[in-house]
Copies of this chain bind each other. A is one copy, B any other.
Amino acid sequence: MPLRSDWSTELCPIRRSLDVLGDGWVLLIVRDVLQGYGRFDQLRDSLGISEAVLSRRLRAMVEAGLLTRVDYVSGGRTRQGYAATEAAAELLPILQQLAVWGERHTATPEAGGHMALIHDRCGQETTQGQVCSACGEVLVVEEMTWDKTWRGRQAKLVPAGVLGDPDPDPA
C-alpha cells in the first residue's frame, strides 16, 4: 500500500505494520467490516470516501491479507462484500485502544457520546482494548459488542470470514 516510501522490508516490525496500516482509511475499513458493514455501499456511506479511493483500498487490503471477498445476493444478483481475515481480526486491540485513546485525548464533539466496549463474556464494559479491565480475559472479536451511544444502537462484532447481516445503518 505505497502511500509514501515502501516500509515493507524495514527491520522494525512497527514500521512494517504501519506500511500496511499507516493510511487511516485502512483501519477505518477494518472497523466497519468487523461491525458487519462489509458491503461496498455501506462502506462508502459510512466512510464518506469516494468510490474510486474505496475500490483501490479494498483491492489493496485483499492483496495485503486483511480482507476476503464474500458473495452475497441482493436484488436477485450475486454481489461481493468484504469480510475480515484473521489478521484483520487481530487488529481488535489496536482499534479498541484507539477508541479509548481518542476519548481521552481528543475533543469530543458537542453531539458526541461515549463508545462503550462491552465484553459479552462477562457483560461488563472494558476500559482497556486488549484485556478486559473487568474480568481480565483477553478480548476477541467473537465476544465484543461496541455500543456507540450517540447512535443509540449496539454492534455485535462479526468474526473473521463473516459478512454480517445487511443493515442500512452506517457504522
| Stretch from A74-82, A125-133, A161-169 that touches the partner | A125-133
| A65 touches B (CB below 8 Å) | yes
| A90 touches B (CB below 8 Å) | yes
A20 → chain B closest CB, angstroms? 7
Contacting pair B102 A17 (CB below 8 A)? yes
Question: How many monomers of this chain does the complex have?
Answer: 2
| A111 touches B (CB below 8 Å) | yes
A150 → chain B closest CB, angstroms? 5
Q: Which residues of A contact B (CB under 8 A)?
A: 3-5, 7-25, 27-28, 31, 48, 65, 87, 90-91, 93-95, 97-109, 111-113, 115, 128-131, 136, 138, 148, 150, 171
